[in-house]
Amino acid sequence: MRRRALLQGLAAMPVGAAPFPLTLRHALGAVTIPRRPRRLVSLGLNDHDFLYALGLAPLGVRDWWRHQPFATWPWSEARRQQLGAAPAVMAGPAIDPEWVLALRPELIVATYADLAPALYRRLSRIAPVLARPEGYPPWTAPWQHQLRLIDRATSGDETAAAGIVAALEARSAALRAAHPEFAGRHAAFVDLRDGQFVLSGGGTGPGRLLGALGLAVPPRLQALAGADGWIRLSLEHAALLELDAAIWPEGGRARVEAIAAYRRLRLHREGRSVWLQPGSDMSAALWFQSPPSIGHALEAVSTLLATAIPPG
């Protein structure tokens, strides 16, 4: 009789309830999530993309670019509509805890945010806070780790994340095989900021995207990467920018080509720079580094790189 009652009790439990309460570690400590969260607020700059990829509709999102309704770009817009999500949007660089409180979240997702300890503690008094993956400085965790952490926090396991990771990595592998000319070549995303060149190191999201396609950052440059993974070169060291290809997501072609040291590079003479339109869907997708944005950009990036790195 007792065994039958136990089995009946287990059968009556809602699907997905078993993993909770759940405690997860992240970069700021540990978070305990008492039950499967339904009311989600996204405070990371790209976290809402991850939620949409997992089939979850956030109540509130943080706007990064201020260009799109609901802070949602085309690569996630269809999914947002499918889920019926119409989130409140918090604009501006600062996080407003009162705005978060008003949404009555059951989980605050902030895996792509740099939360100060005091702000983390204040938000934790509102609801459990999921900060960035453990072991990574702000903005540097691989998207796979970010996705798995969010999936586990919202569902109790990583089943959905595993499928998304496998599909995207298979697409990258297929493109890598289709472009053998990328193997062993050097490339980076580059921008001109505050009078210096800023390049994506191998530990940044854009750098990992290039790595998935078979390209790498030269060791001499990778050695100069800062704690955030980015490489900064003063203009007098422009000779180190000699790459097989460079993608400039923020454009600025006229400004860059006005620099004499850049014009002396083979990168310039052989037309190995790829210039994107600032604020375009492609430029934004490369910065977002979420599963939907990577899926949106993969084939296009490969095509652009192939124009700069001919076979042979």
| pLDDT at residue 5, rounded to an integer | 41
Given a contact cutoff of 8 angstroms between Cβ atoms, the answer to whether 236 and 261 are in contact is yes
Q: Which two tokens stand for residue 117?
A: 């300890």
Contacts with 307 (C-beta within 8 Å, 6 or more apart), sequence order = 274
Task: Provide the 10 A C-beta neighbour count for residue 51.
Answer: 27
Nearest to residue 57, comparing CAs of 33, 78, 79, 74? 79
Q: With 0-12 CB in 10 A as exposed, 13-18 as middle and 19+ as buried, what is 177?
A: exposed
Contacts with 93 (C-beta within 8 Å, 6 or more apart), sequence order = none
Residue by residue, pLDDT tens for the chain (312 residues) are 434 443 343 333 444 446 899 999 999 999 999 999 999 999 999 999 999 999 999 999 999 887 799 999 999 999 999 999 999 999 888 999 999 999 999 999 999 999 999 999 999 999 999 999 999 999 999 999 999 999 999 999 999 999 999 999 999 999 999 999 999 999 999 999 999 999 999 999 999 999 999 999 999 999 999 999 999 999 999 999 999 999 999 889 999 999 999 999 999 999 999 999 888 899 999 999 999 999 999 999 999 999 999 886
- The secondary structure of the chain, three-state, reads CHHHHHHHHHHHCCCCCCCCCEEEEECCEEEEECCCCCCEEECCCCHHHHHHHCCCCCCEEECCCCCCHHHCCHHHHHHHHHHCCCCEEECCCCCCHHHHHHCCCCEEECCCCCCCHHHHHHHHCCCCEECCCCCCCCCCCCHHHHHHHHHHHHHCCCHHHHHHHHHHHHHHHHHHHHCHHHCCCEEEEEEEECCEEEEECCCCHHHHHHHHCCCECCHHHHCCCCCCCEEEEEHHHHHHHCCCEEEECCCCHHHHHCCHHHHCCHHHHCCCEEECCCCCHHHHHHHHCCHHHHHHHHHHHHHHHHHHCCCC
- Which of 152-166 are b and which e, b meaning 16 or more Cβ less than 10 Å from the residue's Cβ? bbbbbebebbeebbe
| pLDDT at residue 278, rounded to an integer | 86
* C-alpha–C-alpha distance, residues 241 and 269, integer Å: 13
Q: Which two tokens stand for residue 115?
A: 């939360």
Nearest to residue 153, comparing CAs of 126, 134, 129? 129
HSE (CB half, 13 Å, CA atoms) of 296?
22
The order of strands in the sheet holding 88-90 is 88-90, 60-62, 40-42, 107-109, 129-130
Q: Which domains does the chain have, with CATH numbers?
A: 13-157 (3.40.50.1980), 180-308 (3.40.50.1980)
pTM higher than the cut 0.85 = yes
Nearest to residue 55, comparing CAs of 31, 35, 84, 30? 84
| pLDDT at residue 8, rounded to an integer | 41
Helix axes 74-83, 281-288, angle to 10 degrees: 80
